[in-house]
Amino acid sequence: MDQPTLCLSLLRDLLDHSDQLSRESDNSLLELLRTLESVSRLASLMALTVAAEADRRGVPSQHSCSSLGVFLRRLLRLSPGESAERARMARALTESIDESTGTRYPPVLPATATALRTGELDLGHVRVIARTLAALPLTLPDQVRRDAEAFLTEQASQLDPHQLTAVARTLRTRLDQDGTLREEQDAVEQRELHITRDRRGRTRIRGVLDAEAGAALQTAIHTLASPGPAADGRTDPRGPARRRADALLGLAHHALDGGGLTSGVGERPHLSVTIGFTQLRDVAGTGTLERGDPITAQSVRRIACDAQVIPAVLNATGEPLDIGRASPTVPEPIRRALAVRDGGCAFPGCDRSPSWCNAHHIRHWVEGGDTALRNLVLLCGPHHRAVHHDGWQVRVVHGRAEFVPPRWVDPTRRPRRNAGPHDFSRFDAAS
């Protein structure tokens, strides 16, 4: 029996005895899930390797297929999009051979291919990495491109593909200032808002905004959408969608009445933009809107001309240097400094903005912990509960929050952290 057939036989045997899983301990189930996921990922890589070898031999053309993608679609009954993407990944993750000279060339994505062999990455991660690198300018030096791939591969080892996409977007903004600026300008030109009425006389609103406009609208609506006491003094019965609709109506009344817009605690709403001092000075690198969207340094300079924007300037290590000036009714300085340092929920892979977060004491206050920046971290509701109840440990190292996972998440308990401005600083010279 050949090895692939033996592996398939073992998996089928395991499946035939799945009724015995009820006898396994919880820890055994976790270990089995991790092992099977690694097997699945390695099998996917092996399938791509076999596909690349078939392509090298000309097997698709022998079966009247115009490309490897068409061949995979017919052979494996894949959709056109899936088969084409597998063909691209097969070429990117395997070495190629010049048949005329016998010269071997490394994979287009060597770091990704190596990481795949560990079973830590899946094809979803590969899609994000491949698309990001393909979108980078062709003028980038090869070393910068290799560093970018290595950085994304490192991030992929602790993030899921959705979370990795956010990191990749920031990296691309950092490395392709001109291209991203054009996209920002195009997004402004493509803004649209449709207001229609249905048969029952209700108004329907549909539209698309660029990142900057979306962040401004979201900040304004969030100011008015917080739950408030009902007329009878009980908990606000409105759901989030209803509160947002009421907040939009409140904005309309504000514009019509010409009054000042304030939140329930009297704080004037503002659009926060964070950028490193050297990036702002040199018009390089990227800034970050409150909800995590990266924008070019050129756009930050333009936005900073608006008096309603609070610039948050960081030093070279990403720690607060100048938290800016708002109105006389600004939040407490420590809360502002936390928002600048963490950029929102500091939990790895989370993109919740500071307005959705609580300040968590790393060493509990009742146990003698200080209410100081070094002992605080921003966490959204779900991740605040995870730290308190699920065994995650938090520490601040060199001004950055690190999270040590419980053993059921990672038996090695390797520390993790969200990608912040300092992580991308290695690419400043290339932007």
Q: What is the mean pLDDT of residues 61-77?
A: 94
pLDDT number for residue 322: 39
Task: For 111-130, write each residue's pLDDT tens digit.
Answer: 999 999 988 899 999 999 99
pLDDT on residue 431: 58
3-state SS of the chain is CCHHHHHHHHHHHHHHCHHHHHHCCHHHHHHHHHHHHHHHHHHHHHHHHHHHHHHHHCHHHHCCCCCHHHHHHHHHCCCHHHHHHHHHHHHHHCCEECCCCCCEECCCCHHHHHHHCCCCCCHHHHHHHHHHHHHCCCCCCHHHHHHHHHHHHHHHCCCCHHHHHHHHHHHHHHHCHHHHHHHHHHHHHCCEEEEEECCCCCEEEEEECCHHHHHHHHHHHHHHCCCCCCCCCCCCCCCHHHHHHHHHHHHHHHHHHCCCCCCCCCCCCCEEEEEEHHHHHHCCCEEEECCCCEEEHHHHHHHCCCCCEEEEEECCCCCEEECCCCCCCCCCHHHHHHHHHHCCCCCCCCCCCHHHEEEEECCCHHHCCCCCHHHEEEEEHHHHHHHHHCCCEEEEECCEEEEECCCCCCCCCCCECCCCHHHHHHHHHHC
| pLDDT, tens digit (0-9, with 9 covering 90-100), for 250-271 | 888 777 665 554 444 444 445 6
Identity of the residue numbered 80? P
143 or 371, greater pLDDT: 143
Tokens coding 242: 């209803």
pLDDT score of 306: 47
More confident residue, 257 or 350: 350
Please give the pLDDT value at position 82. Answer: 92
Q: Where are the domains of the chain?
A: 27-175, 209-225+241-265, 271-430
Average pLDDT value for residue range 127-138: 92
Average pLDDT over residues 384-399: 84
What pLDDT was estimated at residue 316? Answer: 54
Looking at the predicted structure, is the pLDDT value of residue 71 above 80? Answer: yes
| CB-based contacts of 119, cutoff 8 Å, min separation 6 | 37, 38, 39, 41, 42
pLDDT reading at 421 higher than 90: no
Whether the predicted pLDDT of 20 surpasses 70: yes
Mean of pLDDT values over 47-73 = 93
